[in-house]
Structure formats: C-alpha cells, structure tokens
C-alpha cells in the first residue's frame, strides 16, 4: 500500500494538517492513520470537569472530523522505516509514503506515580486529563462535603500549562456556591517554581491565589498516592525531600511523556519526541518527515493553540519539499493558555518561544476579563471544529 502523504494521528494536529493540505490541493492522496473512533476537543475538558459543558460537547466521531478526500486507515503505527519511506502498522503492515507527518500526541503516564493507576479509580480522586475521568471531576466537586482539596501539577512535560490550576479556581467557586468553602482548605502542589513563567500573567494569577486563599506549594511534584489512607506524597524537586498530605479530594494532573512507539524510533530524540527543527518543524534527520503537536520536540507550550501556529508551517514546508524545494517557513513558538480564574473570569495568556506576549486583542490581556471567559466558552470551540479542523483561515 502507498500514499503520497501519510499523517500519523487523527487528533488536533493530524486532522488540522490533513484538512489544510486538502484545502490547498484537493487532489492530493493523503491517508490519516488513527486507531480511535472518537476525536476529542481536549481544551473543553476543564469545562466538563467544572460542570460548564456537558461531556457530549467535547467529543465527535472520528469519521465526522476526517476531511473529505482523506483516506482514514483505522490502525496504529508500531514502527518507522524512514530510510525506505515506510511506516509499519499493527494490522496492515508496511505502508509507503512520499511525505510523512507525525502527530501522535502525548502519553498520560498514570504509572509514573506510585499507586496512581489504582487511586484514580477510587472516590475523591479525579483528573480532567482524560475524557473518562473529566466527568468524575464534576461529580467530585458537586458532592464534596469539605475538608482538604488538593490539586497537583507535575514536572514538565505536560500539555496545557494552565489546566492544573484552572480547575482549582473553578472548584473554589463551586465550593463557595455550595457553601462548603468555609470548611475547606485548598492546596496546590506544582513542580514549577511559580504559578506561571511570564510576569504579565503570573501577577494577576497571584492576586487570584491571594483573593481565593489558596495554599501553594511550588517545586513539589506528586510521587505517590495511597487511596486507602487518602494520602498524597510529594517530592521537593531540588532536595528530594518528601512531604505527605491527607486529602478528601484530589485533582491530579498526571505525569506525561512521549508515546511508547516513538521511544527509540529513528525519528525521535532520546526522550522519544519526534526530533524536529523548532522553526521549520522538519525532522532533523529526514527531509520528507515533519512533526507537530504534543509529540514533537519543539520547546513550545503543548497546546491546541500552538497547533494553530504550527499547521500552516508544516503544510507549507511539506508541500515545498515534495515539490523539490527547501523548508523555509518558520514557526515562532506561539502558544496560548486561556487561564480560567473562575466562573466568568479569564486571563488570556498568549506568548512565543521567547516568553514574550504575542497577544491577539488591542487591550491588556494580563488581567481577568469576563469577555475572554465567553471567548473560551463559546468562540474557541467553534473555531476549533469549524476553522482549525476544516482547513479554514488561521490568520497566518
């Protein structure tokens, strides 16, 4: 079997690239290799976990998002043979290509924390990081009776720099509305040294933390959880010192890593990420291979917003290379993080590789705004489904 262009993964990046290539030239022979029947709008998981969205709002059938003109191969890639322009899949075996795009996402590594894989199945332990566990977050928040509520953020890498804290701000509002905040202590443990790496956005977030009386513990990441005793153990990232706290509920942002099939592949770096030039997103080893989204080595913040910036670069460079030219279009590291700070409040962080703000609106985005909350709630999902995934104008 052979296709001119093969895309590995039908998530945000894979579908965006496929549809934008076909918008450029609908006659191109493109195949998307993707095992899942469902495509998820993951940026909506925070709103599922806080009861703002019904879970049905963040999932659609894979068939419905697959661009017309693309061939969907419902299979998993197990290895790469880039010297011979082939991928190997679990069911169909070898498939040849002229150009390859790898967009296989990031692995949620439940096993990286002692006891977490078991604990996540128990009452009071929840996570917005998968569709299956996001709805449990809402069930936990709306039935919480008070006590200690813990929110965790791992050491990098992880997707969406704000998701671990957004749910804490929303939980605080839910607890206040339900009258249980007075008998609740909220604790945030993060591997990072502060709430956000850019002052323009960390200033308003620190004000939110003070206003909401949240207890922060930076440079601490979760290393163990004992669901029987309802205890979570954290490690100080510099000294290795361990701290244990009890919890009545805990929202876990689990550790994340490169997908297993990428680790040790000829396309990947030591950590397993698809090794790409951070500007052109072209493989550092194979000219006809590109990587984008959560699985690539580019040091941007892993977000759907980054994929909005990466998609036109990959499409332009891939088509140029296939026509005999050289990759010349550059991605500047753009990423965005809509930092929801409560019901009706949001700080819209937008920045590039240099951690310099790269904002969309002609007003100060470094403050909480109601308008930005409505942007996240109503406009961004529409943009995702109808523009990013459909080959629409990305404003490049």
Ligand X SMILES: Cc1cc2nc3c(=O)[nH]c(=O)nc-3n(C[C@H](O)[C@H](O)[C@H](O)COP(=O)(O)OP(=O)(O)OC[C@H]3O[C@@H](n4cnc5c(N)ncnc54)[C@H](O)[C@@H]3O)c2cc1C
Residues that bind ligand X (CB under 6 A): 8-14, 33-36, 42-43, 45-46, 76-77, 103-105, 128-129, 159-160, 163, 259, 261, 293-295, 302-305, 307, 336, 338
CB of 351 to ligand X, least distance (A): 12
Of all residues in the shown chain, the one whose CB is closest to ligand X is: 11
Q: Which is nearer to ligand X, 333 or 338 (CB)?
A: 338
Count CB neighbours of 185 within 10 A: 15
Query: Do 313 and 281 form a contact (C-beta atoms < 8 A)?
Result: yes
Helix (H) or strand (E) holding 313: helix 304-322
Helix (H) or strand (E) holding 206: helix 199-212
Q: Which is nearer to ligand X, 253 or 316 (CB)?
A: 253
Which of 199, 177, 175 has its CA nearest to residue 249?
175
CB of 20 to ligand X, least distance (A): 13
Apex 375 CA angle, 371 and 376, nearest 5: 120
Query: Which residue among 126, 160, 295, 296 is the active-site one?
Result: 160
CB of 114 to ligand X, least distance (A): 22
Query: Which residue among 126, 295, 296, 337 is the active-site one?
Result: 337
CA distance to 55, 72, 318, 375, 389, per residue, from 26 (Å): 33, 15, 15, 32, 15
CB of 15 to ligand X, least distance (A): 8
C-alpha dihedral sign at 255, 226, 166, 9: positive
CB of 241 to ligand X, least distance (A): 29
Beta strands in 21-85 (DSSP E): 30-33, 38-40, 59-61, 70-73, 77-81
DSSP class of 390: T
Q: Which is nearer to ligand X, 136 or 181 (CB)?
A: 136
Distance (Å, whole) CA 52 – CA 55: 9
CB of 47 to ligand X, least distance (A): 9
CA distance to 113, 132, 206, 229, 255, per residue, from 40 (Å): 25, 11, 31, 34, 20
CB of 120 to ligand X, least distance (A): 14
Q: Which is nearer to ligand X, 159 or 220 (CB)?
A: 159
Secondary structure (3-state) at 234 = strand
Distance (Å, whole) CA 392 – CA 16: 9
Strand partners, 395: none
Q: Does the annotation count 337 as an active-site position?
A: yes
CB of 260 to ligand X, least distance (A): 8
Distance (Å, whole) CA 17 – CA 32: 10
H-state helical runs in 85-198: 116-119, 131-143, 163-178
Q: Does the annotation count 295 as an active-site position?
A: no
Kindly report the backbone phi and psi dihedral angles of residue 129, in degrees, each rounded to the nearest multiple of 5, phi listed first: -80, -10
Query: Do 137 and 143 form a contact (C-beta atoms < 8 A)?
Result: no
Token pair for 181: 């905040």
Q: Which residues are catalytic?
A: 160, 337
């Amino acid at each position: 079997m052979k296709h001119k262009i093969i895309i590995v993964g039908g998530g945000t990046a894979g579908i965006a690239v496929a549809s934008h290539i076909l918008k450029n030239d609908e006659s191109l022979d493109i195949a998307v290799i993707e095992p899942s029947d469902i495509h998820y709008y993951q940026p909506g998981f925070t709103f599922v976990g806080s009861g703002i969205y019904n879970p049905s709002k963040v999932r659609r059938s894979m068939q419905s998002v697959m661009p017309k003109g693309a061939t969907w191969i419902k299979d998993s890639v197990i290895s790469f043979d880039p010297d011979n322009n082939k991928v190997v899949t679990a069911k169909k075996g070898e498939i040849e290509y002229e150009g390859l795009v790898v967009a296989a996402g990031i692995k949620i590594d439940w096993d990286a924390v002692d006891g977490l894989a078991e604990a996540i199945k128990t009452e009071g332990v929840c996570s917005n990081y998968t569709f299956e566990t996001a709805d449990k977050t809402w069930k936990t928040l709306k039935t919480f009776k008070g006590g200690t509520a813990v929110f965790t953020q791992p050491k990098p890498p992880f997707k969406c720099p704000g998701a671990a804290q957004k749910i804490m701000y929303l939980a605080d509002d839910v607890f206040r509305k339900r009258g249980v905040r007075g008998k609740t202590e909220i604790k945030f443990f993060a591997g990072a040294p502060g709430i956000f790496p850019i002052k323009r956005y960390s200033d308003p977030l620190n004000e939110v933390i003070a206003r909401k009386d949240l207890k922060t513990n930076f440079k601490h990441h979760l290393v163990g959880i004992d669901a029987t005793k309802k205890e979570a153990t954290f490690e100080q990232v510099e000294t290795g010192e361990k701290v244990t706290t009890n919890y009545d509920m805990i929202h876990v942002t689990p550790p994340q890593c490169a997908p297993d099939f990428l680790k040790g592949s000829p396309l990947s770096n030591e950590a397993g990420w698809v090794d790409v030039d951070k500007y052109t997103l072209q493989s550092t080893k194979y000219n006809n291979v590109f990587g984008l989204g959560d699985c690539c080595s580019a040091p941007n913040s892993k977000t759907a917003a980054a994929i909005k910036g990466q998609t036109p670069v990959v499409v332009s460079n891939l088509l140029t290379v296939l026509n005999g030219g050289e990759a010349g279009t550059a991605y500047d590291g753009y990423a965005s993080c809509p930092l929801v700070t409560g019901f009706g409040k949001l700080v819209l962080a937008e920045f590039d590789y240099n951690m310099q703000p790269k904002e969309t609106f002609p007003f100060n985005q470094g403050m909480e705004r109601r308008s930005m909350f409505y942007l996240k709630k109503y406009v961004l999902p529409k943009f995702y489904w109808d523009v990013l995934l459909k080959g629409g104008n990305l404003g490049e």
